[in-house]
Amino acid sequence: MQGPADTSGTDRTDLLPPGYRVGRWEVTEPIGAGGWATVHAGRPVGSEAEEEEAVALKVLPTAGLAPRQARKVAETARREVEFGRRSSHPRLIRLLDTVVLSEPDHPLLDGAIVLVMERAERSLRELLGSGVGEAEGARLVTEICEGLAHLHRSGWVHGDLKPDNILLMADGSVKLSDFGLVTRLTGTHGTHGYAPPMGTFDYLPPERWKAPLGEQGVEVRPSADIWALGITIHELFASGASPFPGATPMARGAATQEYADGRTPLRLDGAVPPFWRALAADCLAPTHLARAEHTPETLLARIADRQSTGTDADAPAARPAARRRGRRRAAFVTLAVCAVGATIWPHVEDDGASGATTAEPPGRIRVFNADRSCRVRTDRDAQCSLGLAIDPTRPYTIDNVVPTRVWHGDELAVDCRLAQGMPIIDEADTHSADWYRVRLPRGSDRPTAWLPAVRTKDRPSVPDCPAPAPVR
């Protein structure tokens, strides 16, 4: 056996030199290095080697680590081996063997754990710089969901889903990899498990930033993978850009918390096509409960439904089948988690700034929230608040809403109806280009604002509104 190279002062990918033997495999070249491991390409040796495929050798050194660090590495390897022995699926990288190196003359390698896995062509991360077409992106997301669906059905949470751990094989097919943080669902009814307080900041759901650390670790649920999937979908179509701003992972984590706490909206890149923007928004619901209903199976059903009909989720024709499978939000729905402003009151007076009148309004309407979980709440939680637009002919984005918020059941005074505004789709796929001009309470920064017609079940008899003047 050829000994390892002297690694002092070298890149960790040189840990095992070409020709080094690991069991019945031989190292051919370095692939990369992560936080705890290095990965090398390998090939089988022996009489049957020509019939076998190339492999990836994931090396987890333990020498030189503090006892606590060494235990973490050993636990990571144990989880990955346990999972590899119990799970097999076309969308998961196969674990072929495990080897513990015995190198007493090379302390850096002595006792290192090597996981031998099938080798991929590259990772999804390598595609993100230039972005992908929608058709190719649809295939990739579908195959990622297929892998996640198997994991969750089998009672596991991946725990570290990200483009680096989504691998592409030589034929372009997707396989999930890196199961060092995989967690077995062992809680009541198999709804959660416990994992070490580890992970990649950019893909951790909001609840993980504040999760208490108990004797068993931190609580992990399948919805954590759904959050990471939402980040990945956004990055896939936005050339690698995160939906949360910040120059560092910690800064982006802080932005995640502001969004989850209702202080800022979810801002999704306009490069993400509408269907995928809505899908990502659902995956990035700010709470576990809101995210839990979006399982890999429901996401696959939505993707399949869209592909079978050849229409976009944001197209005018709503589909009852899609409604039954799950709620679909357009991008504007994320505005519902903005900070709460003033509450709407039944009667207001106008200061004349917008042309509204102080006379008795011609009609009244009640606000309707298509989100069923919000309809049963009475606490006016920020997550269930809805936005009112400044200009109904412009995109319904954060810079086009007033500070005043409304909730399901609020009664509003309405002056008139605009029939040709910006088309809006709610969570139940109801669509409309109609808007109502409603009055705001005294003390608001504006006397009136605009409510999308999809946000009310009422159709009051009110006059048509003149086209609004451009808002500067």
For residue range 130-161, list pLDDT tens digits in order.
778 999 999 999 999 999 999 999 889 999 99
Domain-embedded: residue 294: yes
Record the pTM: 0.61
Portion of the chain with pLDDT greater than 90, in percent = 41
272 and 391, same domain (yes or no):
no
Residues 6+ apart with CB under 8 A from 320: none
Q: Is position 5 within any domain?
A: no
What is the average pLDDT across 385-399?
Answer: 81
317 and 378, same domain (yes or no)? no
More confident residue, 19 or 472: 19
Q: What is the pLDDT of residues 212-263, one digit of tens each?
A: 666 667 788 999 999 999 999 999 999 999 999 998 888 999 999 999 999 9
> Residue 424 — φ and ψ, nearest 5°?
-130, 140
Question: How many independent structural domains does the chain possess?
Answer: 3
Q: Report pLDDT digits (tens) over 252-291.
A: 999 999 999 999 999 999 999 999 999 999 999 999 999 9
Structural domain span for residue 46 = 12-118
Are 150 and 271 in a shared domain?
Answer: yes
CA 80, CA 177: separation in Å to the nearest integer?
10
Residues 102 and 135 in one domain: no
Place of tokens 């309470």: 441
33-54 tens-digit pLDDT: 766 688 999 998 875 655 567 8
Residue 316 pLDDT more than 90? Answer: no
For the ranges 188-202, 256-270, 293-307, the lowest mean pLDDT is seen at: 188-202
Task: Give yes or no for residue 353 having a pLDDT over 90.
Answer: no
Residue 26 in domain: yes
In a shared domain, residues 368 and 458: yes
Q: How crowded is residue 354: how many other Cβ atoms within 10 Å of its Cβ? A: 17
Verify that 140 and 264 share a domain, yes or no: yes
Q: In angstroms, what CA-CA distances link 174 with 123, 151, 152, 199, 239?
A: 9, 14, 17, 21, 18
> 């998961």: which residue's tokens?
92
Q: Is the pLDDT assigned to residue 432 strictly greater than 60?
A: yes
CA distance linking residue 111 with residue 90, whole number of Å: 32
Band (pLDDT 50/70/90 cuts) for residue 375 is: confident
**Of the spans 19-23, 253-257, 279-283, 407-411, which averages the highest pLDDT?**
279-283
| DSSP of 436-465 | EEEEPPTTSSSSEEEEEGGGBS-----PBP
- Does 370 reside within a domain? yes
What is the predicted pLDDT for the residue at 361? 81
Residue that wins the pLDDT comparison between 143 and 371: 143
Same domain, 358 and 402: yes
- CATH code, domain carrying 322: 1.10.510.10
Last residue in a domain, options 286, 307, 327: 327
362 and 246, same structural domain?
Answer: no
Write down the residue that tokens 């002056």 correspond to. Answer: 415
- pLDDT score recorded for residue 310: 66
Where among 67, 96, 118 does a domain terminate?
118
- Residue ending a domain, choose from 327, 362, 390: 327
Helix (H, G, I), strand (E, B) or coil at 412: strand
Task: Tell whether the model's pLDDT for residue 350 goes beyond 80.
Answer: no
pLDDT at 4: 43
